[in-house]
Chain A
Amino acid sequence: MNLVELTINGKTVKAAKGATILQAALKNGIYIPNLCYDRRLSPYGGCRMCVVEVEGQKGLSAACSTQIREGMVVFTETPVVAKSRKAVLELLLLHHPLDCPVCDKAGECKLQDMAYKYGSTSNRFSASRKDEPERLDSPVVERNPNRCILCGLCVRICQDHQGVGAINFIGRGFKTKISPAFEETLDCEFCGQCIDVCPVGALGSKTYRFMSRVWYMNEEEMICPYCGCGCTTNLSVRQGKIIRGRGKEGVGINDGDLCGKGRYGFDYIYAENRLKTPMIRKEGNLVRASWDEALKYVAERMGSIIEKHGPASVGAIGSQRCSIEDNFMLQKFMREAVGTDNIDSAARFGYAKAHKAMEKSFGSDFMPIGWEAPLNAKFLLVIESDITSAMPVWGLNFILARNNGAHLAVADSKETKLVRNSSQWIRLVPGTGVALLNGMMKVIIDEGLYDKEKAQGIQNFSALESSLKDYTPAAVSAITGVSEDEIRNLAREYSSAKSRLVAMTSGASENIKSLNTMLAGANLVMLLGDSPDTLQIPAEFSNTLGMWSAGVRPAEQGKEMQEMLYAKDASLKALYIMGENPIVTFHDVAAVENTLKGMELLVVQDIFLTDTAKMADVVLPACSWAEKDGTFMSAAGAVQKIRKIVKETGEAIPDWEIFVRLSKAMGKDLGLNSVAEISAQVSEKLSTLGKNDLKLSFNPAAYELIENSSSEFPMLLVTANILQHSGALSSLSRNLDSVVSDAYLELSPADAEKYKIINESYVKVISKRGEILLKAIISNEVPEKTVFVPIHFAHAKVNTLTYPAVNGGIPLVPVRIEPA
């Protein structure tokens, strides 16, 4: 990188060529006041606060839009500059309401700070203020147009950075205001990025409205508890209560970017059904008990079951939301105190597939994503995944890559946010991503576009070649609904790109991808001679990768999830569930419920009284993520600390401590008594990750539907995540529920007409496993013969219809819909 040397306020500084004066100054710790600059956006030059004096230049220059030159001499604080800033402030304050006493921004308001520094205290012109009504009609975001100084940051961050474009300027000149189209109610994805960038109080968080003043609060940096991005969210705590979250420049891997979950979702820890004391089932009801009583009860019952049926009759489910330490203690307790290997988690239906694909194809046991990987590729191929909603902040890198000139091709059946921000949308039939990949490989091999030297040296190349013989463009076109030419062109363009990336998500709730899709992705990567990290499959939740790496999975003969919960033989007598809610989040609820009912002992350790906990014999209250110390491992493989920032709820104790106490109650001391001791052992275990040699191998992957649509069930049900929620946890956040609080069924207008369904009416969704009632939303985003349902909401019971799949078949659910 070329560096340019210039002098700012007598200090010689260096900055990259092409940078602006403002960027160079900020990078070197010199503050120049600004109201319309943001590091993520291109210069705007609207506020005129950043004016500086440049030697040899007539007049003042705007630092935000003047590029630096070698030997430039800049002064940022001269009397002339101060006078100019004072004049600009006077103009800004002409119409700015002086309602700081009731404005939530007061104390961290940029305009206020600058008025203190440069402004005058008198008012030479008494102009009438704007008197627009406050807009409080949308969830979580409030708008007060009177306070707006029209810096345009919100408009630009929404359009250019977030890829949404929900708001824009309306009107001209002084009458300009910022508003959604036609001044309607703001209806966007509610990420809240606009609130963070607003320099004044024109945009605010509704959940924080009048809650506090900034000087009452402590700011704590915490890792977000939701998805695998591992963003740092800055939580403001007042008197032991978290009242808001926000992103902060330069903090964490996200560098200040947050999605709605990270910003608003913290309040699930204040949900009404938080557990406060241990509970034991007595005469059919759960009654409060003391810790000693509860632990003694568990120890005794567990002991007798081990004695009677052997340790292999005990199973455990770990949690992707609990810390590495918690999960490590769970598996240690199970393996050392109980002596069973039956340990698994919900990741079996999600990340386990990705892991299996990586292991089979690359021989790797640890493949975290690269945070910057999307930015380094020229051609990005996303297979049936809305990365912008599963991994919202990592997803921004895909949008950024496209904005920087990379080609972003998205193969998806639904019109997702990523599709809207893509360069190419390959609309295929849901679940046929594997066929598309196979079709591309067929074209690449037939036209000789692959890396012959490398690919032919990889094991099973001939098997791959022969497995692809049925995937001719014509055949693939028939399966996927994508035209032959498009498949050919995609294959040609992809294979000829300078640098490539294949990305997909591996959510437990997604049923349009399976192991085979990921294997096919890996095959494509190897075929073109790319390195394994060209395939990017992120782990789903905040600690999925950490849990997986801590050993929450069968090591040898242990039972996997489908054997534990879906097997017909009742070999499992006791089940210990930590922080998981199988009755809601697992597929085929009826089968799960049946198995759980048959347990002799069901222990649920959770922070809420979940539906599963309601079935338990013993319920143990655990601390939530903000109430304990520990570590999370993000999808990018970064181990990050979480801290206790608020007091525990009731008698809850951290999960790891429950295992310490329980093992003692069972008379088997595990020898670890503090987070520090556990962390030491954990890091020893983690240090071996990703050290093994790679061993590449092709794994032919066929396209196959486990259940296909029929005349009785003509539609295919697609389940997935939506942007505002993550798993079932976020549905307990009141803030996030104010955006989306209920499951719905999205269907195409054509299907709505066919089945006589009115928008926002209730429909019956019937599969061969059961039926549920959902509100219908008619939307152009969904293709025909497909219905889309978000999975997060417990009361919708969507998983009544679904079924588990851990292998190659695509577990789409054939359903029938009827007006209710």
Chain B
Amino acid sequence: MTFNELTKRIFMTEILKGMALTLKTMFTKPVTRQYPEEKREALPGFRGLHALVRKSDSSLRCVGCGLCAAICPSRCISIYTSEGVDHTKVVDRYEVEVLKCLFCGFCVEACPFGAVVLTEHFEYSDYSREALFMTKEKLLNNWDKFMAGKKGEQYFEKYWRPLAEDFGTPENQPVLKNRRAD
């Protein structure tokens, strides 16, 4: 036993050091979050529950191109379209089987118009499978609930950028001219 060790033992420096840390921590904020009372802020690009984007005129932004369904690795998206009264393409059904989804976010990336998003909502557990079978209406409600207002705009400005923005569809494009703007 060296002198140093002896002094440590006599004055109980180890214990004092420990106590000092305890004392210090007593006055700091606790790390543990009191979930579910206390919820964590999601970071940009968080991949939560799906939603379909509403345009400013409250209609669906999705044109039913099916690229999300094509890229989806777990084949959980199905889209049914038909011809509308004015001979345009109408999305009749847009369905996501959330239980199959693995939240890769490919659908968001594939969408040329920024019509599908993964919201920050992650608490969607339920007792029935039906509740997690998202129909078009449910998905639009998700948008209203979780992405309304500034949040939705920022989502596309700050994190996902729709492909159509960069791959130059000219403004005077006849076929899409009424579909681009929201």
* A and B in direct contact, judged by CB atoms within 8 A: yes
A residues near B, CB below 8 A?
97-102, 106-107, 121-123, 126-131, 134, 136, 146, 209-213, 215-216
In the complex, B113 has a CB within 8 A of chain A: yes
A101 lies within 8 A of B65 (CB)? yes
> Which residues of chain B from 27 to 55 have any CB-CB distance to chain A below 8 Å in the complex?
none
Given A102-B64, A210-B83, A215-B70, 9 more A-B residue pairs with CB atoms under 8 Å apart are A99-B173, A101-B176, A102-B175, A107-B70, A121-B167, A127-B170, A210-B90, A212-B81, A216-B78
- Residues A102 and B172 in contact in the complex (CB < 8 Å), given A209-B83, A210-B82: no
> Which residues of chain B from 114 to 129 have any CB-CB distance to chain A below 8 Å in the complex?
none
In the complex, A98 Cα to B70 Cα: how many Å? 19
In the complex, A450 Cα to B167 Cα: how many Å? 74
A97 lies within 8 A of B173 (CB)? yes
In the complex, B73 has a CB within 8 A of chain A: no
8 contacts between A and B (CB under 8 A): A99-B175, A101-B64, A126-B170, A129-B172, A129-B173, A210-B83, A211-B82, A216-B69
In the complex, A130 Cα to B65 Cα: how many Å? 22
List B contacts of A209 (CB < 8 A): 83
> Which residues of chain B from 47 to 82 have any CB-CB distance to chain A below 8 Å in the complex?
63-67, 69-70, 78-79, 81-82
List A contacts of B174 (CB < 8 A): 97, 129-131, 146
A101 lies within 8 A of B113 (CB)? yes
Q: Which residue of chain A is the closest to B169 with respect to CB atoms? A: A98
A99 lies within 8 A of B176 (CB)? yes
- Residues A213 and B70 in contact in the complex (CB < 8 Å), given A97-B173, A98-B173, A131-B174: yes
A211 lies within 8 A of B65 (CB)? no
List A contacts of B105 (CB < 8 A): none
Q: Which residue of chain B is the closest to A213 with respect to CB atoms? A: B66
By size class, the interface of chain B is: 20 to 34
Q: Considering the complex of A and B, which 4 residue pairs feature the smallest CB-CB distances, nearest first? A: A101-B65, A99-B175, A213-B66, A131-B174
List A contacts of B170 (CB < 8 A): 123, 126-129
List A contacts of B168 (CB < 8 A): 122-123, 126
- Closest-CB distance, A305 to chain B (whole angstroms): 51
In the complex, A97 Cα to B174 Cα: how many Å? 8
In the complex, A129 Cα to B169 Cα: how many Å? 10
List B contacts of A215 (CB < 8 A): 66, 69-70
In the complex, B158 has a CB within 8 A of chain A: no
In the complex, B9 has a CB within 8 A of chain A: no
B83 lies within 8 A of A101 (CB)? no
In the complex, A106 Cα to B82 Cα: how many Å? 16
Which of B64, B66, B82, B175 has most A Cβ within 10 Å? Answer: B175
In the complex, B87 has a CB within 8 A of chain A: yes
- Closest-CB distance, B133 to chain A (whole angstroms): 16
In the complex, A213 Cα to B172 Cα: how many Å? 26
B169 lies within 8 A of A106 (CB)? no
Which of A106, A134, A211, A213 has most B Cβ within 10 Å? Answer: A213
In the complex, B8 has a CB within 8 A of chain A: no
In the complex, A187 Cα to B170 Cα: how many Å? 35
In the complex, A101 Cα to B169 Cα: how many Å? 12
A106 lies within 8 A of B173 (CB)? no
In the complex, B89 has a CB within 8 A of chain A: yes
List A contacts of B63 (CB < 8 A): 101-102
B70 lies within 8 A of A128 (CB)? no
A97 lies within 8 A of B175 (CB)? yes
- Closest-CB distance, B131 to chain A (whole angstroms): 23
- Closest-CB distance, A517 to chain B (whole angstroms): 47
- Closest-CB distance, A100 to chain B (whole angstroms): 7
- Residues A216 and B82 in contact in the complex (CB < 8 Å), given A98-B176, A128-B172: no
In the complex, A216 Cα to B80 Cα: how many Å? 10
List A contacts of B83 (CB < 8 A): 209-210
List A contacts of B176 (CB < 8 A): 97-99, 101-102
Q: Which residue of chain A is the closest to B172 with respect to CB atoms? A: A128
- Closest-CB distance, A143 to chain B (whole angstroms): 13
List B contacts of A146 (CB < 8 A): 174-175
List B contacts of A122 (CB < 8 A): 168
In the complex, A43 Cα to B121 Cα: how many Å? 59
- Closest-CB distance, A534 to chain B (whole angstroms): 50
List B contacts of A99 (CB < 8 A): 173, 175-176
In the complex, A102 Cα to B167 Cα: how many Å? 16
In the complex, A215 Cα to B75 Cα: how many Å? 12
Q: Which residue of chain A is the closest to B174 with respect to CB atoms? A: A131
- Closest-CB distance, B162 to chain A (whole angstroms): 11
- Closest-CB distance, A108 to chain B (whole angstroms): 12
In the complex, A213 Cα to B62 Cα: how many Å? 14
List B contacts of A97 (CB < 8 A): 173-176
List A contacts of B175 (CB < 8 A): 97, 99, 102, 129, 146
In the complex, A100 Cα to B175 Cα: how many Å? 10
B65 lies within 8 A of A136 (CB)? no
List B contacts of A128 (CB < 8 A): 170, 172
> Which residues of chain B from 74 to 105 have any CB-CB distance to chain A below 8 Å in the complex?
78-79, 81-83, 87-90
- Closest-CB distance, B76 to chain A (whole angstroms): 14
Q: Which residue of chain B is the closest to A144 with respect to CB atoms? A: B175
List B contacts of A130 (CB < 8 A): 174
Q: Which residue of chain A is the closest to B91 with respect to CB atoms? A: A210
- Closest-CB distance, A128 to chain B (whole angstroms): 5
- Closest-CB distance, A207 to chain B (whole angstroms): 10
